[in-house]
Amino acid sequence: MNVFENKKGKIILLKMVKTIQENKVYLGDLDGLIGDGDHGMNMNKGFSLFEKRYCKNDFSFTDGLKNLGMLLMNEIGGSMGPIYGTVFIGMAEAGENLETISLEDFSKILEAGYNGLMEIVEARAGDKTLVDTLFPTLKSLKTDVVLGVDFVVALDKMKAAAKQGSESTKDMVARYGRSSRLGERSRGVLDTGSVSCYLILAAMADGIKEILKEL
């Protein structure tokens, strides 16, 4: 199949929650290297609270994103509240009227999230933030839409792009956020936000693939 049903999307959110929970310590340690060490903890707190509050019931992909985004924004704060809050709410709003979601739809949904983020942060690709994950991921999706690539294949390529994007932060010097004050000392270490963003996007891709496979 080349579309998935929005209302089946809970599994995607569950995968996102799980990957954050499993990587809580890793993300915190990464943040400790050039930041303040709270990234894993905060992400875990937000995503776990989402799980606790919403995952007893079923929900669609976009409703899940909306609730997760609102929760991060309104209850978690930090940098991740507004950042992932904006991304997820932007994605949710772009897709909430869709019953089925195609590769093109998904690409547009992610683009909406990305555009929302661009309104609130100054960081751009190359600044050693999660933008370095988000931007190439979106680019990969958009290219594959144009090329008419199969959804599952596009999702695998998207994962690879996200991973590569995240890894590209290693050689960068931070220009925004807490580690930006380090200058050259920030080089050589992955940006923790780019890693959590990769994990989330990979979980999203895997979740969608699972729904696509079911059919």
Ligand X SMILES: Nc1ncnc2c1ncn2[C@@H]1O[C@H](COP(=O)(O)OP(=O)(O)O)[C@@H](O)[C@H]1O
- Report the site for Mg ion in 9-48 (rule: CB under 5 A): 31, 35-36, 38-39
x-or-dash string of contact with other proteins, 13-42, rule CB under 8 A: ------------x--xx--xxxxxxx-xxx
Range 85-88, long-range pairs (CB < 8 A, 24+ positions): 86/113, 86/116, 86/117, 86/119, 86/120, 87/113, 87/114, 87/116, 87/117, 87/134, 88/113
215 touches, from other proteins, Mg ion, ligand X, none (C-beta below 5 to 8 Å by class): none
| 42 belongs to the binding site for ligand X (CB under 6 A) | yes
Residue among 60, 114, 69 nearest 88 (CA): 69
Cα–Cα dist 85/125, whole Å: 19
| 191 belongs to the binding site for Mg ion (CB under 5 A) | no
Cα–Cα dist 182/162, whole Å: 25
Cα–Cα dist 38/91, whole Å: 25
| 178 belongs to the binding site for ligand X (CB under 6 A) | yes
185 or 213, CB closer to other proteins? 185
Coil, helix or strand for 61? helix
Smallest separation, CB 60 to ligand X (Å) = 27
| 142 belongs to the binding site for ligand X (CB under 6 A) | no
61 or 198, CB closer to ligand X? 198
Binding site for ligand X (CB under 6 A): 31, 35-36, 38-39, 42, 78-80, 83, 121, 123, 129-131, 176-178, 191-194
